[in-house]
Amino acid sequence: MMNTFKTALLLTALTLCLVLLGEHYGGRNGMILAFAIAAGINFFSYFYSDKLALTMYRAQPVSREELPRVYQVVERMTQRIGLPMPKIYVIPSDSPNAFATGRNPQHASVAVTQGILNLLNDDELEGVLAHELGHVRNRDILTSSIAATLAGAITMLARMGYWAALFGGYGGEGRDRDRGGGFGALLMLILAPIAATLIQLAISRSREYEADATGAHITGNPYALASALEKLDAYSKRLPLQASPSNAHLFIVQPLLSGRDFASLFATHPPIPKRIERLIGRSSVYGAQN
């Protein structure tokens, strides 16, 4: 309940950030427009964020016959914890990674890269899939998607407002003079995306810890997930998966961010050693079972 309250509070802060940004540049009309944008973003994220993420990474649906190794594990765990069977996708990439998406457990999808299937043994793969089902069970996929989309909208609006203020738009000279002119617009351009990104990351990082804990509870084997995280961290750095800042938070380990957005300056995931330490009591799997 406390985690749900914190997430709702952070999402409210993101929405208020967007609304206040609209008020800064456009007064009352700008505030109303920004609120309408926030409502539209939430609607779009609710129904289409999963399809957008899967399409972006060219994820292909696979049948039980095509990928029995994953289906058997996921079917066993979903029956154990009372979740509907999600759709299974494979991403045609040699970089090892995985993510879950969907607005609720009834519309969930789990995507794995070809690289992760080649890298992990059965126990480690089970740990990763349990982590992703943890996201589904905790109902935090949609929350993270909405947070990312709102943060992106704030960044975009800040940029638009800066250029409009620079050339005398959104209220003219009087409004620009009252609100600090070009300097005020520049300040908003810098601070608004940073604030939005920090709020988004607060949501994303806490969710990763929770999904790790849930995944370890589902399998009863935290060492398998810890071992998988250590392998994924090492191999994904050698062969990184290019990802967009808007949905990099979906993956189990942080992919390589593309673009030069403010969001690319911040880590979307907690450090792997800290995640491993929470799972097994030390920051490395090596020697943990001895």
pLDDT tens profile 127-185: 999 999 999 988 776 666 666 666 666 666 666 665 556 555 544 444 444 444 555 55
Residue in the structure block whose two tokens are 């996708």:
89
Whether residue 7 is predicted with pLDDT greater than 80 in this model: the reply is no
Contact 126, 224 (CB under 8 A): yes
pLDDT in tens, 62-83: 999 999 999 999 999 999 999 9
SS3 140: coil
Q: What is the pLDDT of residues 218-277, one digit of tens each?
A: 999 999 999 999 999 999 889 988 877 667 778 999 887 544 444 444 566 889 999 999
SS3 state of residue 111: strand
- What pLDDT is stored for residue 172 in this prediction? 43
> What is the rounded radius of gyration, in angstroms, for the C-alpha atoms of the chain?
21
Alpha-carbon gap, residue 1 to 272, rounded angstroms: 26
Higher pLDDT, 285 or 257: 285
pTM of the model: 0.73
More confident of the two residues 87 and 192:
87
What pLDDT was estimated at residue 205? 73
Residue with the two structure tokens 């609304």:
19
Query: In this predicted structure, what is the pLDDT of residue 29?
Result: 76
Pick the catalytic residue from 124, 126, 132, 208: 132
% of the chain residues with pLDDT over 70: 59
132 is catalytic: yes
Minimal CA–CA distance to 262: which of 209, 188, 205? 188
